[in-house]
Amino acid sequence: MARRKSDQGSAGMRILAGTLIDETTEVSVEQLSVFCSVRRERIVALVQEGVLEPVLKRRSRRADDWRFAGESLKRAARAIRLQRELEIDISALGLVLDLLEQIEALRSRIGSSAPGR
Amino acid sequence: MEFKDYYQALGVARDASADDIKRAYRKLARQYHPDINKAAGAEARFKEIGEAHDVLKDPEKRAAYDQVGAGFKAGQEFRPPPGWDAGFEHGESFSETDAQTASDFFEALFGRGARRARGGRGGFAQDGSGFAGNEGFSTEGFKARGGDHQAKVLIDLEDAYRGATRALSLRAVELGKDGRPHMRERTLNVKIPKGVRQGQQIRLAGQGDPGIGGGPAGDLYLEIEFNPHSLYRVEGGDVYLDLPVAPWEAVLGRKVRAPTPDGAVDLKVPAGSRSGQKLRLKGRGIPASTPGDLYVVLQIVLPPATGEAAQKVYREMEEKLAFNPRAGLGV
């Protein structure tokens, strides 16, 4: 966890402004594979299994043309982690991710991030 | 350093079969995986389980561990005997346990330099690259883009309304010139734009791993997480507030003062409001081009009936209102 030191940066330090990744941001297969530190084929496989979906207007035969919504970065990284660390089969991965996302949405609705509260 | 009982970590007997170990590991890993279990401590437990599994699944490492660990109990002070590992070969890939997360105990037994990244994870700017085992980019070409890093930033809901600047202390493992991993700490001042939502990311181009052979540096992705708030809960761009109201305010309709992350407002509670009823303040959620809404959820609170005067009012209500809240239950 990045530790929060103070609200104001120390004097003389440059303040970096990044790009906010939201639903309007589009990312490529290349960006996903760098972000997840995996080969591009792993990302393509996730798309072929329906775990990740390119945005509607960018569905194409060529993976180079695909563009994904910004949230796909997190979904792809999680998919890769679940594959690697829990050996979840790619055919079950989409279901697992969907269920996890549903649980998170419901938890935020009841205002709790920890289970059993 | 503390002795770690890997059998205890997996909840298996010392003579457990390889299948038993695998089964126990799978079950615990599913339970404590930080993508699944968000409870505090789950990630630490997951790492402990992973480390135990790394040792016990490998017959060679398990034998080494059994030999050196005979007679020790979990938490006991432990120092490996000199020359304990004679007869065991430690290759470069002796262990898969994550270089950043291995315990001191694990390091003492299975070596520091020999460790490989298992695909860095955890809250710090992670290292997903640079180590052996990384699939991220080809090292055949001499030019390669540096890997991306990730970190979490905790902000308050109010920061999302106004924007903020955060000084972040990031730690990352880097491969030094001697070929060994080193911890590098750096501080970045980052602008948190107004309108960020829980879980969104901010990309800082070029703040990830340096490139190789003149390739471009990777990016740093900061994931926004809101501190839990005592008043509000957040759903996407919408914000919810439970607002206590007195029975007469709800029944008769009144103007009441309500807090919002953007400052207090006067709010009209319509006559005949029920408990749990939502009042929507359009566009008062997290700001954006289409801002979220603020929902005020009315909670009718009964005044305490301590003292004779209050008791008298309740008795009068009982006599005058002829109210049966269970009329609809058929009893």
pLDDT of residue B83: 59
Interface test with A, best of B200, B232, B233, B242 (most A CBs within 10 A): B200
Per-residue pLDDT of A54-63, as tens digits, reads: 997 767 788 9
Extract long-range pairs of A46-53: CB within 8 Å, 24+ residues apart.
Answer: A46/A76, A46/A79, A46/A90, A46/A93, A49/A90, A49/A91, A49/A93, A49/A94, A50/A94, A51/A75, A51/A79, A51/A90, A51/A93, A51/A94, A51/A97, A52/A76, A52/A79
Per-residue pLDDT of B71-130, as tens digits, reads: 777 777 777 666 555 445 444 334 445 555 677 788 777 765 434 433 333 333 333 333
pLDDT of residue B241: 96
- The whole-angstrom separation of Cα B261 and Cα B292 is 13
Residues of chain A in contact with residue B35, where contact means CB-CB under 8 angstroms, are: 78, 81-82, 100
Dihedral pair phi/psi, residue B290, rounded to 5° = -115, 95
Q: What is the rounded average pLDDT for all residues in chain A?
A: 83
Query: Is A111 in Cβ contact with B233 (below 8 Å)?
Result: yes
pLDDT tops 90 at residue B222 = yes
pLDDT of residue A115: 45
Q: What is the rounded average pLDDT for all residues in chain B?
A: 82
Per-residue pLDDT of B40-75, as tens digits, reads: 899 999 999 999 999 999 998 899 888 887 777 777
ipTM over 0.90? The verdict is no
- Please report which residue ranges of chain B form alpha helices under DSSP H: 6-10, 18-32, 42-56, 59-69, 104-110, 157-162, 247-252, 308-321
Structure tokens at B149: 């890093």
pLDDT of residue B141: 54
Q: Which amino acid is at B254?
A: R
**Cα within 13 Å of Cα(B26), Cβ side:** 9
Predicted TM-score (pTM) of this structure? 0.72
- B193 or B122: whose pLDDT is higher? B193
Residues B222/B190, Cβ–Cβ less than 8 Å = yes
- The whole-angstrom separation of Cα B269 and Cα B251 is 9
Q: Which of B123, B135, B221 sits opposite A37 (nearest CB)?
A: B135
Residues of chain A in contact with residue B40, where contact means CB-CB under 8 angstroms, are: 114
Per-residue pLDDT of B7-51, as tens digits, reads: 999 999 999 999 999 999 999 999 999 998 988 899 999 999 999
E-assigned strand segments in chain B: 149-155, 164-175, 181-192, 201-204, 220-226, 232-235, 238-245, 254-258, 265-269, 278-281, 294-300
Q: Using a pLDDT cut of 90, give the percent of chain A over it.
A: 55
Structure tokens at B148: 């991306």
pLDDT tops 90 at residue A83 = yes
pLDDT of residue B113: 44
- The whole-angstrom separation of Cα B217 and Cα B150 is 14
- The whole-angstrom separation of Cα A68 and Cα B169 is 30
Query: Is A34 in Cβ contact with B136 (below 8 Å)?
Result: yes
Per-residue pLDDT of B293-307, as tens digits, reads: 999 999 999 999 889
- B159 or B175: whose pLDDT is higher? B159
Query: Is A20 in Cβ contact with B195 (below 8 Å)?
Result: yes
Structure tokens at A104: 């998170």
Interface test with B, best of A6, A16, A36, A107 (most B CBs within 10 A): A16
Residues B179/B99, Cβ–Cβ less than 8 Å = no
Of B292, B265, B145, B148, the C-alpha closest to B208 is B148
pLDDT of residue B122: 34
- The whole-angstrom separation of Cα A110 and Cα A115 is 11
CA distances from B251 to B100, B143, B246, B272 (A): 60, 72, 9, 4
pLDDT of residue A5: 44
- The whole-angstrom separation of Cα B103 and Cα B96 is 13
pLDDT bucket at B131, cuts 50 / 70 / 90: very low
Average pLDDT over residues A89-115: 83
pLDDT of residue B295: 97
Structure tokens at B174: 């880097």
Average pLDDT over residues B242-270: 96
